[in-house]
Amino acid sequence: MLSLTGRVKLDPRLIVEEAMNTGERRLIVISGNDSPEVASEIAKIWLSKREGRLLIATHMGINLDRIPLDDATSIDFDQTEEVLGGTWDILIADISHQFRANDIGRLIEVVRGGGLAILTIPPAEEWINSMTEFQRRFMVPPFESRGVRQLFKSRFLSSIGKRGTFLLGEEVRGELCGRVSKDRAPIERTGDPLFDLCATRDQQRVLRSILDAFKERKRAFILTANRGRGKSAVIGIALSLIMNRSKIRSAVVTSPSIEGVQTIFNFLMRGLDAQGVNYEPLIREGRIIALRFKGKDVFYLTPESAAEVEVSLKVVDEAASIPVTTLFKFLGGGFTIFSSTIHGYEGAGRGFSLRFLGRLRKSGIPHAEERMDEPIRYPPDDPVERWLYDFLLLDAEPGEPPKNLEATYREISLDSISEEYLRKFYGIYILAHYRNRPNDLATLLDAPHHFARSLEAEGEPIVSIHLAEEGGLPNSLLEDMVRGMRDLPGHMIASRIVLHYSFKSFGRLRGWRIVRIATHPELQGMGFGTRALAEVEREARGKSVDWLGAGFGATEDLLRFWVRSGYHPVHISPSRNTVTGEYSVLVLKPLSEEASKLTEEVLKEFKRRVLASLHDVYFSLNPMVARLLLKSKLDGGKAKLSTSQRSRLLGYVKGSYVYELASDAIHEVVRSYFWQGKDCLTPREEAILVAKVLQGKPWETLKSRFGVKEPYELLREIVSNLLSCLDGLRDEA
């Protein structure tokens, strides 16, 4: 057995006692060649005093045999999402070979109060100078020689030693906090078996509020909290009561992943058990996807599908990770429960509060709101929770907007940026984007081809910009990419243009991809985002960069911003994202002469594909988004009409023919209009042309989508205006 007291200056037995006595968690990081064995000994000390559950996480089982503990649950880091909702007393995670920020966020939070989170690494200097599997994906050509920056590991090690956290190894950090017990106020037992399933007073209060909102026929109930407060559990209990005691026959639950609703289903079953109701779960690949009872059913759908289905009761869990446009689709009728983490690794919950709740409150839609504060697994003010939020910047927020808004462009040195500036810089992302993950922070800090810029006023960041270098690829790799044999991570735009359009020479050009750009939420709409893009372009031109680009889930507002800034859409994914319901789009702005020539060729191929696919592959694409995809101006593309087509087109415009008799000719002139990137019609008129002529939507769809009473006559008028726009075509017709 290892001599713990001889190896370190701080006896781990005291850390174990302090955790048990305070009811708080303690984090222990062990460094050294024997760190897995030392972790086992510390776990045995804890287990010698109390029974408990043990979770072990490793990368592909490496070092698992060096943690000789029985009755433990062992998982790979790729399975961390599967343990969410579970509770363990001790965590041992060997992060020697895999160190992903997302995994740390998930694993730390499954440890209950009084327990230990133990992380093991080799000697600290050896670990800092090695690469984890997560970091290896940064080493893409031609940036390998620069090396990973290792700033995220350094950030991790320097964070250990604060209250409740300890480093044991060659260096010892951390101080015992004292032995004051933190007993919780006992939860009120009501005698109602459903309310007695609640673990905290907060849960009981929220359960009553959900039931009251349903009885009062509110349209929505919004529940927010930090992670670990039992939101999903109380929603599951409420669902069991509403479904069992009301006339509702069907309900849908949704989340960005099927794993996200498992706790809801589990507590739905516990609630039905408490009411003596028999049920039948439908399980697929070990996960519950539906529950049937008493002729009723509750089932899971992806967010986009759940928003469209017609049922009277819907539950949206982790709403912060779902676009606001999709969230508002849930408010069409019935009762919807929205649940969101305010601070957590799932997404930007504070952004959800600003973007969704702000609009909901102004809409006049009847709704109720509640917030939960009391943790389920550990006491309030748990020091390990505070450490996790500080380390991963989960609750980072921008500073107060400066009074003097005279902005300057700043090149940020990630090696020397202050913690205060980093928190404000990253906090802007959290409030502006709904798909932020801790892994994004690690990528920014470590990837050799990623870098940061900001627009700042009075020394405060007001626009945050995350960029990545792409391109400059050797011919040997480009040959493989053209043949579809290789898709290089880290080269999102370059690889897709080479792969999908076979323009090998584009891969040799150097580009900057704008990974993230976000403006302080209180300064949006004032032109700072556009100014920041202009500054990035100025710097890129000065450094002989060939192109700028970006990739994102296409919404009308976002795409309009990029098109207005001179960026051309050059690629759209063939299918929607299952979580957001959006198509992914790449935009490009050429800076050099060679990039301009290649971009024009890419645009021709892109327009051909989109124009030929709107009736099929992109039939469900938002017409307002589709028209923006087609705004780039190209030479040629003049409408080619036969004598018969010209005659029928003229007859349609004059009212002699119905649309159906001239549809082929109308399609040809509409295709010509969008090919040339004309700008004679209003955005609404263009969208109507896309919907009817290019996508083939029914007339009834035009009525409902665009609020048109007489779509037949409106379309005739739009086509007439279009002919006036196309050079000489109306006269010829």
Same domain, 484 and 554: yes
Classify 236 as helix, strand or coil.
Answer: helix
What is the arithmetic mean of pLDDT over 173-180?
79
Confidence band of 480 (pLDDT split at 50, 70, 90): confident
The identity of residue 528, as a single letter, is F
Confidence band of 169 (pLDDT split at 50, 70, 90): very high
Confidence band of 227 (pLDDT split at 50, 70, 90): confident
Is 377 annotated in some ligand binding site?
Answer: yes
Looking at 629, 664, 688, which one is the last position of a domain? 629
What is the share, in percent, of the chain residues with pLDDT greater than 70? 94
Number of domains in the chain: 4
Reported as a single tens digit per residue, the pLDDT across 411-448 is: 999 999 999 999 999 999 887 765 678 999 999 999 99
Q: What confidence score (pLDDT) does residue 15 get? A: 96
Is residue 598's pLDDT more than 50? yes
Q: What confidence score (pLDDT) does residue 437 get? A: 85
Q: What confidence score (pLDDT) does residue 346 get? A: 47
Burial class, 333, CB count within 10 angstroms (exposed 0-12 / middle 13-18 / buried 19+): exposed
What is the arithmetic mean of pLDDT over 104-127?
96
Is 518 annotated in some ligand binding site?
Answer: yes
Is residue 185's pLDDT more than 70? no
Q: What confidence score (pLDDT) does residue 181 get? A: 60
E strands present in 545-672: 547-553, 568-576, 583-590
Confidence band of 569 (pLDDT split at 50, 70, 90): very high
Q: What confidence score (pLDDT) does residue 729 get? A: 60
Question: Which region, left, alpha or beta, applies to residue 48 given φ > 0 means left and ψ of -120 to 50 means alpha?
Answer: alpha
Residue 279, domain member (yes or no): yes
Residue 132, domain member (yes or no): yes
Reported as a single tens digit per residue, the pLDDT across 491-524 is: 999 999 998 888 999 999 999 999 999 999 889 9
Q: What confidence score (pLDDT) does residue 731 get? A: 44
Q: What confidence score (pLDDT) does residue 435 get? A: 65
Identify the CA nearest to 468 among candidates 532, 408, 547. 547
Same domain, 280 and 422: no
Is residue 369's pLDDT more than 80? yes
Same domain, 139 and 215: no
Q: What confidence score (pLDDT) does residue 490 get? A: 87
CB of 714 within 8 A of CB of 659? Answer: no
Residue 470, domain member (yes or no): yes
Same domain, 460 and 571: yes
Residue 654 domain boundaries = 643-732
Reported as a single tens digit per residue, the pLDDT across 620-648 is: 999 999 999 999 999 988 999 999 999 99
The identity of residue 636, as a single letter, is G
Same domain, 414 and 517: yes
E strands present in 14-110: 26-31, 54-58, 72-76, 88-94
Q: What confidence score (pLDDT) does residue 9 get? A: 65
Same domain, 322 and 436: no
Same domain, 273 and 219: yes
Is residue 353's pLDDT more than 80? no
Same domain, 360 and 273: yes
Residue 385, domain member (yes or no): no
Q: Can you tell me the distance from the alpha carbon of 314 to that of 299, in angstroms, rounded to the nearest whole number?
A: 10
Residue 381, domain member (yes or no): no
Confidence band of 732 (pLDDT split at 50, 70, 90): very low
Question: Cα dihedral sign for 553, 554, 559, 561?
Answer: negative
What is the arithmetic mean of pLDDT over 567-586?
89
Is 626 annotated in some ligand binding site?
Answer: no
Is residue 614's pLDDT more than 60? yes
| Secondary structure (DSSP) of 648-714 | HHHHHHHTSS-HHHHHHHHHHHHHHHHHHT---S-HHHHHHHIIIIIS---HHHHHHHHT-S-HHHH
Is residue 305's pLDDT more than 80? yes
Confidence band of 7 (pLDDT split at 50, 70, 90): very low
Q: What is the helix (H) or strand (E) element at residue 163, kind and residue range?
A: none
Look up the CATH number of the domain holding residue 612: 3.40.630.30
Q: Can you tell me the distance from the alpha carbon of 625 to that of 284, in angstroms, rounded to the nearest whole number?
A: 36
**Which has the higher per-residue pLDDT, 541 or 182?**
541
Strands 510-519 and 460-471, by their bridges, are antiparallel
Q: What confidence score (pLDDT) does residue 179 get? A: 57
Q: What is the helix (H) or strand (E) element at residue 721, kind and residue range?
A: helix 711-725
What is the arithmetic mean of pLDDT over 669-686?
95
Distances (CA, A) of 168 to 16, 36, 42, 161, 679: 14, 12, 11, 10, 67
Is residue 259's pLDDT more than 60? yes
Is residue 487's pLDDT more than 80? no
| Secondary structure (DSSP) of 310-351 | --SEEEESSGGGS-HHHHHHGGGSSEEEEEEESSSTTS-HHH
Same domain, 461 and 524: yes
Is residue 267's pLDDT more than 60? yes
Looking at 629, 657, 675, which one is the last position of a domain? 629
Residue 400, domain member (yes or no): no
Q: What confidence score (pLDDT) does residue 123 get? A: 97
Average pLDDT, the chain: 91
Residue 387, domain member (yes or no): no
Same domain, 493 and 623: yes
Is residue 1's pLDDT more than 50? no
Q: What confidence score (pLDDT) does residue 433 get? A: 64
Reported as a single tens digit per residue, the pLDDT across 376-415 is: 999 989 999 999 999 999 889 898 999 999 999 999 999 9
Is residue 254's pLDDT more than 80? yes
Residue count of the chain: 733
Residue 667, domain member (yes or no): yes
350 CB-side CA count, 13 A:
19
Look up the CATH number of the domain holding residue 55: 3.40.50.300
Same domain, 143 and 232: no
Residue 156 has what DSSP assignment? H
CB of 261 within 8 A of CB of 235? Answer: no
Any residues with CB less than 8 A from the CB of 144 and at least 6 apart, and which? 448
Q: What confidence score (pLDDT) does residue 6 get? A: 43
What is the arithmetic mean of pLDDT over 438-466?
96
Q: Can you tell me the distance from the alpha carbon of 537 to that of 541, in angstroms, rounded to the nearest whole number?
A: 6
Same domain, 223 and 99: no
Looking at 372, 393, 418, which one is the last position of a domain? 372
Hey, what are 273's tokens?
């058990």
Neighbour order of strands in the sheet with 26-31: 72-76, 54-58, 88-94, 111-121, 26-31, 165-168
Reported as a single tens digit per residue, the pLDDT across 27-76 is: 999 999 999 999 999 999 999 999 999 999 999 999 999 998 989 999 99
Is 203 annotated in some ligand binding site?
Answer: yes
